[in-house]
């Protein structure tokens, strides 16, 4: 086969690689088109990659801003069984408000964004107002400040992270969540996403014994997702058969 002199063997071996390259390129273009269409549909602009030190956030534990994919968020939400008009969603490290807007397109009772950067918070508020007419959940609150100082609502039930901080800050925020659940027992789903090389949860897994890890998977070559659930301990052997899991089978 290698002795072929007309180039046919080389051509045949290269063609599949070319096809795969073209398919990947077309899929990438399709994803970009969907992302831009979502921005256009909501009338907002959140597609950016911004270092926050230039904006006055000097805490080295805070990561830079990068928009989370619309497509990946929709994929994640297929795994979440929302109780319409009951569940409360929070995006910790909400940046320019993209995830807040996306979450508000679902029937949550309230959607909350927590962001330390004042410039991001100002833009997020404008984005939310632009998108409001297309949102299902109109009850949206933004907290501008350190996530470690955010007072966890007693009814918060779904929490989203897109790699906003290092393990030290994450540990403090998770401890606040744990304390809230102890004070006001309830089910909670925690969605933690990050780039594969930014897996700060690995450094603090021993601290998360109170959570059940349901899924740890790569959504793409750029995004890893860890899905946690907290269920309050039941007294004795009694079980509430009417309690519905927040996660889809």
Q: pLDDT digit string (tens) for 31-70?
A: 666 687 789 899 998 988 888 777 888 888 888 888 999 9
Residue 91 lies in a domain: yes
Q: Write out the residue range of the structural domain in which residue 173 sits.
A: 49-230
Does the pLDDT of residue 2 top 60, yes or no? Answer: no
Angle, helices 8-42/70-77, rounded to nearest 10 degrees: 80
Closest residue by Cα to residue 38 from 134, 125, 106: 134
Q: In the prediction, which pLDDT does 239 show?
A: 44
Same domain flag for 95 and 15: no
The torsion region of residue 212 among left (phi > 0), alpha (psi -120 to 50) and beta comes to beta
Percent of the chain surpassing pLDDT 70: 78
Same domain flag for 65 and 138: yes
Q: In the prediction, which pLDDT does 5 show?
A: 54
- Distances from the Cα of 236 to the Cα of 70, 239, 240, angstroms: 43, 9, 12
Q: In the prediction, which pLDDT does 32 show?
A: 62
Does the pLDDT of residue 212 top 50, yes or no? Answer: yes
Residue 242 lies in a domain: no
Question: Total structural domains in the chain?
Answer: 2
CA-to-CA distance for 157 and 82, rounded, in angstroms? 10
Same domain flag for 36 and 2: yes
Q: What is the SS3 assignment for 226?
A: strand
- pLDDT (mean) for 228-248: 65
- pLDDT (mean) for 176-185: 97
The H or E element spanning position 110 is strand 110-115
Same domain flag for 38 and 69: no
What is the band of 242 on the pLDDT scale with cuts at 50, 70, 90? very low
Same domain flag for 60 and 104: yes
Q: In the prediction, which pLDDT does 34 show?
A: 67
- pLDDT (mean) for 157-177: 94
Q: In the prediction, which pLDDT does 167 show?
A: 87
- pLDDT (mean) for 11-28: 56
Contact in structure between 161 and 224 (CB atoms under 8 Å)? no
What is the band of 217 on the pLDDT scale with cuts at 50, 70, 90? very high
Kindly tell me the sign of the dihedral angle through the C-alpha atoms of 146, 124, 247, 193: negative
Same domain flag for 31 and 56: no
Residue 14 lies in a domain: yes
Same domain flag for 6 and 58: no
């Amino acid at each position: 086969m290698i002795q072929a002199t007309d180039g046919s063997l080389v051509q045949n071996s290269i063609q599949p690689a070319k096809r795969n390259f073209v398919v990947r390129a077309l899929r990438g273009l399709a994803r970009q088109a969907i992302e831009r269409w979502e921005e256009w549909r909501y009338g907002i602009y959140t597609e950016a990659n911004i270092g926050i030190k230039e904006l006055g956030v000097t805490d080295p534990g805070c990561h830079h801003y990068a928009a989370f994919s619309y497509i990946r968020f929709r994929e994640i939400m297929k795994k979440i069984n929302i109780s319409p008009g009951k569940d409360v969603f929070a995006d910790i490290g909400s940046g320019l408000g993209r995830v807040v807007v996306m979450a508000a397109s679902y029937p949550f009772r309230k959607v909350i964004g927590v962001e330390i950067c004042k410039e991001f918070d100002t833009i997020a508020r404008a984005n939310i107002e632009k998108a409001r007419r297309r949102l299902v959940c109109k009850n949206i609150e933004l907290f501008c400040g350190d996530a470690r100082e955010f007072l966890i609502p007693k009814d918060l039930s779904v929490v989203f992270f897109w790699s906003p901080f290092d393990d030290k800050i994450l540990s403090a925020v998770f401890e606040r969540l744990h304390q809230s659940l102890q004070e006001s027992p309830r089910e909670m789903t925690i969605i933690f996403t990050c780039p594969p090389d930014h897996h700060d949860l690995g450094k603090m897994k021993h601290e998360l014994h109170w959570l059940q890890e349901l899924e740890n998977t790569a959504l793409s070559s750029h995004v890893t997702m860890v899905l946690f659930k907290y269920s309050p301990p039941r007294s004795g052997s009694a079980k509430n058969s009417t309690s519905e899991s927040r996660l889809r089978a």
